Structure 1
């Protein structure tokens, strides 16, 4: 490990009483990266990237800045920072300062330094030259009043924490800190006036955005990706590296020969960018096509007479109709897809270098969104996925990454995934130019050749407009415009998963929520609580499932195969008859989708059950008789169901075995001759009602 040997020297009176200027600021710490460790004498910034950093926050999140602290405050800030980074250091213990053994996270120290800077500025303006040991609680109260007037509540909380550190680290601060505990035992939240809400603030993506968004992502991953990779490979082969190019001779004859080839087509720009306009001839690409990748400059400088003549030759041939032009110009052809109007055609009209660059970014974003949604990983965990991270976990496919929230050091964990997610990760790996799967997919335009950073927040804002720009011609549904953020995908998928059997248990594992009991915890339950939009969506899905089953019942009734019992059987049969009449007389198209929609509307309140089906009509529900009006307004109450007498009850062949078993059980109980008369009378009454059902299914 190397260290900085050059650092800024402070004035002699600002030299620390406890720390040598060449002391490494990280002692006995696990280091993730081989970056130089700063020394205490560096007065402007400490780059702590050797500890690792959250990819979602960027590399600068691992840097502590001291350049805005002047004189003795710069020394105090560094002394507090090194103390928080090394809380069990022998120097600190010798001064009688006993802190938690767990080092404070760099992000927290950054917040504390911001708060300390606010206090230092206030101190310089209001108590210039006054030693910290002479401060009184009244002085700190004045600072707090000023801070609450000028700072956000979160910044006030950071300032309070920083002022308290001046007391906690009193013995390790050169010249001493604050001699008394600021504001006593009062909490920072109470002092700052910051309101802490118990409700989850993470928004949920609405269903009308969620479903078309995921379908568009999968279309890109499963279909469009092949065409994008093919076009990218073609362009890579055509755009030869300088070492493989040769000098072009006889440019005019080469152009004429190319124009006479019946397969030649003049490329046009597909996109407007920089100095190029959509629809213009793509002269650079044309030059590479004519020269087989050996020259980009056959048509570049139109001020040169020879170049102007060659350009004119192309234009004349185009105007005469002897050669066609195409958007893009590369030979790669897009896959035909089924468009929203029912026709078929290519999803994009062509490829050129700019289109490839744009489509690679869209494809990378589609992979990111798809994985964020279906793995429920945090943004930092997604951005920590490295290449070759696909694995298995308890026999199921999984992806390995680093769990960062609330953790120190390296904590590799596995997240379960499905096969489409594995495919999305594999596609993203092909796009990535470094070891990080969701990293840069291109180099920047500077001469240093550094990779362009993946700004997920910016790219999420562009994704929906980009999808809508391709539109129905690409077979993609329009997506309503909405704000997207990485944490919204995790929350939305949690809401959906919680509706499945044992969903809370699975969520507790997949979300990596720390659970105090075996199955899940309150955090998981609250995180997965549904919103009104998703409650309506789940209700709609339930109705779709019921309608799908009704299609089978409708077909069976048409063949006189359906057998129904219960007081609501006739009403269900009449509804099926109405559906038959309507689809025959009015719609005249007996496809299952139309029929399912019709039956869903006919039986919008129908509930599928284990021992019977419920029509769900409140006016004839036996379960709502005698209950308060406010309770009855919420709908039927399944646990008060009376399936033998309620006019909503419908019993089918699927339920018959349960009722026949119940009949046999009642017969067996009535064989007991010692049974009390009133018990026997009750069982006989039940048997009478059960027989009304079972006699409809004699051969069940």
Structure 2
């Protein structure tokens, strides 16, 4: 087996290292750095607009560590990102003009890492041409132990990329398809060991979840947002001090200017000091100078972010060039000039803090926040100390003025408890205001997701002022992300309650453009992208919302939400099922789901979304009704020709009902235009024969007053439902038989004749069988008439 190290220094034979990897994109952000093919670790997508529902760390393509698989994956990724690039055309590859998206490439890279790991563990040949089809199937079998069909189908697509881009790959790719003539889905279905489909949200969860979301939007949101606005105003008007911040970009700019100054010298320890050997850079001192005394950690070695590594490399270049200044720790500050010492609220004298607490409590207009209910953070009626601290001192930082555990803080707590009265109590939910705001955000997301059929990516791209008019009806405008690099602005029709939920989310959001964002604005104390971004982790908020609704049932009076998995994509599936049951539901789904179609407004994917599943069969209470109505469609077509389609005591009622449906269809021009629409026929038949029950030997039109089967029951139990096992098909006026029932009657007639041929039958037994044969023959004779008519 060839060692991977041999490929470590080999560049691609087809793609130069200096080639921009997003060169074929038409929507690059001006001025943003475009990664080059030679970057072997990962390709950041900073030059492309990042969707709101993706964090920065997820907006890049990362490659396997093995050198050969790393190169192979980068070559495939380049081909997907530049499907019409000259390099591909020179290699004889011609694909669609539209490039694959960065998320698709990222997924491919993740799959390649798994394949590379398995290949190394199994000591597979580096030459892909040496792999047999069974080797690839073995990988799928291995992955099937922990994956479902959709995951396996993506694995197949990734493996086939090695065939599609084979002329581009250094060393070559696959020579032939491991699964010729089979789609990825077929291969996955054959490989998969279980069953996995996109689930819907069960009705038992769906309805109470939507009611709870609307309760928060309609009842709770106004007070919570008012309290938030009051706190913001109080903090803004306060004379208290705030913690000073520094911005990473400002720090980087100041450092860049400093290292470019020829007079700049890096301070290093002149002698050994507290474990630091002589010559070590004085990182803390340099950090304090760059941040005006706010932070000592802008070079912190324990952080592995690119920003911290970049800063240390910039300084280390000066050290390597000999531009250092050995000094003692005592003289470290003086070496870089006067470093500011920002004032901090927590450094105020205890007497001053006491005075401000007593002054605040003396004003009866100030309301004391207390817990509305018991929680892990404290009992009911207990003050919420951190919220109180922010109100008293107008700060957003935690100084533990009431909670440090000292005698003085216990005294302050006592003053607060003595000042609590009913008229100045502000009851809040568990935790602080952020808890309540998160519940409002989750409620808005759940309600909008449930009633618009929008994807998570589309929901989190909703911007301010997005409620518009679309063909005369209110609609919500957002960007379509999936399978569309151009990200067109599309519109989803909405109802008035959804518009109200959008307005609440817009009021809640601090973000300049997006209505769904993290609760906190950007902070200078965390790496860029970790706080204060548009978008949020919706699935965490959904779980948080359900958990807290169930914990506060005694106070809110809401229904309990049963335990079960609820995820963003499941709202779309569930609402599609509900919509599909309505007239013209497939057309509505095609419009709202934004599915591309070759025929008008809907396609096979749309039908798949709307297909009812087991969770919703009972909810609609129509499983039997729909099945019965669909079986009647063929009878309706035959009846339209004027022919009898049933026999038995109830046949006249069945014929009359079918004739009524035909008359309704023929008399209504709108229905007549849809005569070929089977769904419309099923709907009319379901309404006309709501009590029809299909059986094996006959069907029941179920009318309790004429049902023979009810005679077998006690009086108090009669009239509720038919007993098909006790039916007397030849006598009951509810009974009808069609040609579908004929085989069972003909078979019974044959069995009875065979039995009567036996010589050793007792006279009573023979008489009973002869009577039954007479009944059966009267029915089978009618079937013969029915067959001749049809």
- Identify whether the pair has TM-score above 0.5, normalized to the shorter chain: yes
CA separation of 1:253/1:374 partners in 2, compared to 1, >3 Å: closer, same or farther?
closer
For 1:309 and 1:122, locate their aligned partners in 2 and report how far apart those are by CA, in whole Å: 64
Contact 1:384 1:402 in 2 (8 A): yes
Instruction: Give the TM-score normalised by structure 1.
Output: 0.64
DSSP 3-state at the match of 1:481 = coil
Contact 2:366 2:424 in 1 (8 A): no
- Are 2:578 and 1:496 aligned? yes
**Aligned residue for 1:506?**
588
**Aligned residue for 2:370?**
268
**Aligned residue for 1:105?**
101
For 2:362 and 2:454, locate their aligned partners in 1 and report how far apart those are by CA, in whole Å: 56
CA separation of 1:522/1:238 partners in 2, compared to 1, >3 Å: closer, same or farther?
same
For 1:408 and 1:200, locate their aligned partners in 2 and report how far apart those are by CA, in whole Å: 29
CA separation of 1:292/1:498 partners in 2, compared to 1, >3 Å: closer, same or farther?
closer
Residue 177 (structure 1) shift: 3.7
For 2:374 and 2:237, locate their aligned partners in 1 and report how far apart those are by CA, in whole Å: 26
- Are 2:542 and 1:437 aligned? no
**Aligned residue for 1:365?**
442
For 1:76 and 1:47, locate their aligned partners in 2 and report how far apart those are by CA, in whole Å: 18
Residue 208 (structure 1) shift: 3.2
Q: 2:703 aligns with which of 617, 630, 644?
A: 617
DSSP 3-state at the match of 2:552 = helix
Q: 1:405 aligns with which of 468, 482, 486?
A: 482
**Aligned residue for 1:47?**
44
For 1:262 and 1:102, locate their aligned partners in 2 and report how far apart those are by CA, in whole Å: 66
Q: 2:525 aligns with which of 447, 451, 456?
A: 447
Contact 2:156 2:184 in 1 (8 A): yes
For 2:75 and 2:157, locate their aligned partners in 1 and report how far apart those are by CA, in whole Å: 15
Contact 1:376 1:494 in 2 (8 A): yes
Q: 1:205 aligns with which of 201, 205, 208?
A: 201
For 1:59 and 1:225, locate their aligned partners in 2 and report how far apart those are by CA, in whole Å: 30
Farther-moved stretch of structure 1 (293-302 vs 383-392): 293-302
Residue 366 (structure 1) shift: 0.7
For 1:13 and 1:258, locate their aligned partners in 2 and report how far apart those are by CA, in whole Å: 69
- 1:169-568 matched pairs, under 5 angstroms: 169-179=165-175, 182=178, 184-185=180-181, 187-189=183-185, 194=190, 201-240=197-236, 267-270=369-372, 279-283=381-385, 285-286=387-388, 300=402, 309-314=411-416, 318=418, 323-325=419-421, 329-330=425-426, 350-351=427-428, 354-434=431-511, 435-443=513-521, 447-448=525-526, 450-451=531-532, 454-518=536-600, 520-531=602-613, 534-539=616-621
**Aligned residue for 2:127?**
132
CA separation of 1:376/1:194 partners in 2, compared to 1, >3 Å: closer, same or farther?
same
**Aligned residue for 2:766?**
none
Residue 270 (structure 1) shift: 4.8
Residue 219 (structure 1) shift: 1.8
Can you list the C-alpha shifts for 1:349-390, whole angstroms capped at 9, x where unaligned?
x13894421111111111111111111112221112112211
DSSP 3-state at the match of 2:428 = coil
CA separation of 1:303/1:517 partners in 2, compared to 1, >3 Å: closer, same or farther?
closer
Between the two proteins, the alignment pairs up a number of residues equal to 532
Residue 623 (structure 1) shift: 8.7
Residue 153 (structure 1) shift: 6.6
Can you list the C-alpha shifts for 1:90-148, whole angstroms capped at 9, x where unaligned?
122122233343323334433433444455455556667x6627x445x4534533552
For 2:139 and 2:392, locate their aligned partners in 1 and report how far apart those are by CA, in whole Å: 71
Identify the structure with bigger relative contact order (alpha carbons < 8 Å, sequence gap 6+): 2
Contact 1:268 1:327 in 2 (8 A): no
**Aligned residue for 2:138?**
145
Farther-moved stretch of structure 1 (437-446 vs 259-268): 259-268
Instruction: Give the TM-score normalised by structure 2.
Output: 0.57
Residue 52 (structure 1) shift: 4.3
**Which runs of no fewer than 5 residues in structure 1 stay unpaired?**
1-9, 331-349, 544-566, 569-606, 633-700
CA separation of 1:528/1:620 partners in 2, compared to 1, >3 Å: closer, same or farther?
farther
Contact 2:200 2:615 in 1 (8 A): no
For 1:146 and 1:501, locate their aligned partners in 2 and report how far apart those are by CA, in whole Å: 46
Can you list the C-alpha shifts for 1:144-176, whole angstroms capped at 9, x where unaligned?
335523554766655554454444433322344
DSSP 3-state at the match of 1:29 = coil
**Aligned residue for 1:626?**
736
Q: 2:89 aligns with which of 68, 86, 93?
A: 93
DSSP 3-state at the match of 1:239 = helix
For 1:298 and 1:199, locate their aligned partners in 2 and report how far apart those are by CA, in whole Å: 53
Residue 264 (structure 1) shift: 6.9
Q: 1:37 aligns with which of 34, 47, 51?
A: 34
Farther-moved stretch of structure 1 (495-504 vs 76-85): 495-504
Contact 1:269 1:278 in 2 (8 A): yes
Contact 2:143 2:152 in 1 (8 A): no
Q: 1:76 aligns with which of 72, 75, 79?
A: 72
CA separation of 1:433/1:271 partners in 2, compared to 1, >3 Å: closer, same or farther?
farther
Contact 1:267 1:326 in 2 (8 A): no
**Aligned residue for 1:673?**
none
Contact 1:299 1:311 in 2 (8 A): no
CA separation of 1:523/1:268 partners in 2, compared to 1, >3 Å: closer, same or farther?
closer
- 1:684-695 matched pairs, under 5 angstroms: none
For 1:407 and 1:118, locate their aligned partners in 2 and report how far apart those are by CA, in whole Å: 27
Contact 2:166 2:174 in 1 (8 A): yes
Contact 2:367 2:424 in 1 (8 A): no
- 1:596-615 matched pairs, under 5 angstroms: none
**Aligned residue for 2:248?**
none
Farther-moved stretch of structure 1 (260-269 vs 20-29): 260-269
- 1:629-648 matched pairs, under 5 angstroms: none
Farther-moved stretch of structure 1 (10-19 vs 417-426): 10-19
Farther-moved stretch of structure 1 (199-208 vs 93-102): 199-208
CA separation of 1:421/1:126 partners in 2, compared to 1, >3 Å: closer, same or farther?
closer
DSSP 3-state at the match of 1:235 = helix
DSSP 3-state at the match of 1:42 = coil
Can you list the C-alpha shifts for 1:201-239, whole angstroms capped at 9, x where unaligned?
333333333223222222211221111111112222333
CA separation of 1:631/1:409 partners in 2, compared to 1, >3 Å: closer, same or farther?
farther
DSSP 3-state at the match of 1:25 = coil
Residue 410 (structure 1) shift: 1.6
Contact 1:398 1:414 in 2 (8 A): yes
For 1:417 and 1:399, locate their aligned partners in 2 and report how far apart those are by CA, in whole Å: 7
For 1:623 and 1:243, locate their aligned partners in 2 and report how far apart those are by CA, in whole Å: 88
